[in-house]
Chain A
């Protein structure tokens, strides 16, 4: 059964448009030439979010595990494609990104459900998966790009190590550590300052929806821990899968042929 758009909050949404109108006026006044883009973006955001609202409503009502898994697969596919494009230059970037994000997200969501932190219902899993997969996508593209840059920039040292009898993994190890560090740093830093500078999205949403701040922080703590876990799992999988693409089975740098 479709729910319809709750019309009682529509006036608030339309009133918020006043901010967009002001932004467009400022753009015209300062000749920024952005007013067309501002208006297009606002209309697109309205249509996209209303559409996703209806879609989520439908899925939440159906609450079918197969439909949930299908949605997760589509989200992971889009994340893999996006991270693969950002990591271009690393061999087989698309496949590596898809595998690493799938691994990181599946392990994180699997643990969250099996430990009883969240239920496998559409209402709980889909928003949580959105955060986990989005975060994994960012970590994956950061780590993949860094591994690519490190291996290319350190190729003399890596070849020197190979010539001394090191395996590909041993030769690349010091630089892989740097890459994992760079992928994990943003989420670790954000965990350090969470709540001090801005209230994170999940918490803000709950408070606006009427939950008590203490309920909201509990969920936010779970979200932070979950994102740290997802970053570590995805980062490790990305490193493991990416660096191997740079070496042959005979520990030679560069895939020949």
Chain B
């Protein structure tokens, strides 16, 4: 039973530096279960660094990030990554077939996926079962990104971190991914933190938006509030391209 009052992710006073350069300053953020939150900001503002802390691809300081109330540093890192899936801008598929890619993480855990399981996972990513046998190297950008989504879903994660997954896609493929993620939230109750720089994407998918500027949270709220035509919010200024 999900405690709806307990945030899925709670970030408290997260600061991060690399090679002596500060990347994140005192970031506070919370995401409720089943919520889709978009993270906006100019290049180099720390969006991807923040995202990578949530599944510990980058190590955050202790007592700064909590998943369902637990400090993620206290969790087994491999279990954490199975609970919190990630899709990158580049699909980075492995050599082999689509089925090989989707079965990758269950195989690491000693489970063999049946073709029915693979078909189910493909269906979640809106791909027909016939794709299972296709060589991963021969897919289009949009198809490859869907396979990387199905590959992440094979772990049955509660949450997804999306690092500009539509950044390299054409508009039709991009819209298709939005619909798929919205469907996954409806059907699986997935919590999603989504880094993007497409305002149309934000308006379409986000329940709430955080704006990161120079590693600091500069604004927060629902997109229809932050981005309405008469908005005085800095997010609207950013959306108008005046902060880049």
Contact = CB atoms under 8 A, between A and B. Distances in A.
Interface of A: 156-157, 159-167, 170, 174, 248, 250-253, 256
A159 B87 CA distance: 10
A252 B57 contact: yes
A179 to B, nearest CB: 15
A167 B18 CA distance: 23
B148 A160 contact: yes
Contacts of A164: 81-82, 85, 104-105, 108, 151-152, 155
A46 to B, nearest CB: 51
B104 A163 contact: no
Contacts of A156: 88, 90, 92
With most chain B CB atoms within 10 A of its CB, the pick from A160, A165, A166 is A165
Interface string B225-237: 0000000000000
B94 A165 contact: no
Contacts of B78: 165-167, 251
Contacts of B85: 163-164
Interface in B28-84: 55-59, 77-79, 81-82
A250 B56 contact: yes
Contact of B59 (A160, A162, A256): A256
Nearest to B151: A164
12 contacts: A156-B90, A157-B92, A163-B57, A164-B105, A164-B152, A165-B105, A166-B108, A167-B78, A170-B108, A248-B59, A250-B56, A250-B77
Contacts of B90: 156
A165 B95 contact: no
A248 B81 CA distance: 15
B91 to A, nearest CB: 8
B122 interface: no
Interface residues of B, number: 28
Contacts of B82: 164-165
B94 A174 contact: yes
A61 to B, nearest CB: 57
Contacts of B172: none
Interface in B72-128: 77-79, 81-82, 85-86, 88, 90-95, 104-105, 108-109
B81 A165 contact: yes
Given A163-B57, A164-B152, A165-B109, 10 more contacts: A159-B92, A160-B94, A161-B94, A164-B108, A165-B79, A166-B78, A167-B78, A174-B94, A174-B95, A256-B59
Contacts of A251: 77-78
A163 B81 contact: yes
Residue picked from B78, B151, B155, most chain A C-beta under 10 Å: B78
Q: Which of B81, B85, B95, B155 has the most CB of A within 10 A?
A: B81
A69 to B, nearest CB: 43
Nearest to B109: A165
Contact of A166 (B93, B105, B152): B105
Nearest to A162: B57
Contacts of A162: 57, 81
Q: Which 8 A-B residue pairs are closest in the complex by CB-CB distance?
A: A156-B92, A160-B92, A163-B86, A164-B105, A165-B82, A165-B81, A157-B92, A165-B78
B104 A161 contact: yes
A170 B109 CA distance: 11
Instruction: Name the residue in A156, A160, A170, A248 with the highest tally of chain B Cβ atoms < 10 Å from its Cβ.
Output: A160
Contacts of B57: 159, 162-163, 252-253
A246 to B, nearest CB: 14
A250 B77 CA distance: 7
Contacts of A256: 18, 58-59
A245 to B, nearest CB: 17
Given A164-B81, A166-B108, A157 B94 contact: yes
B17 to A, nearest CB: 10
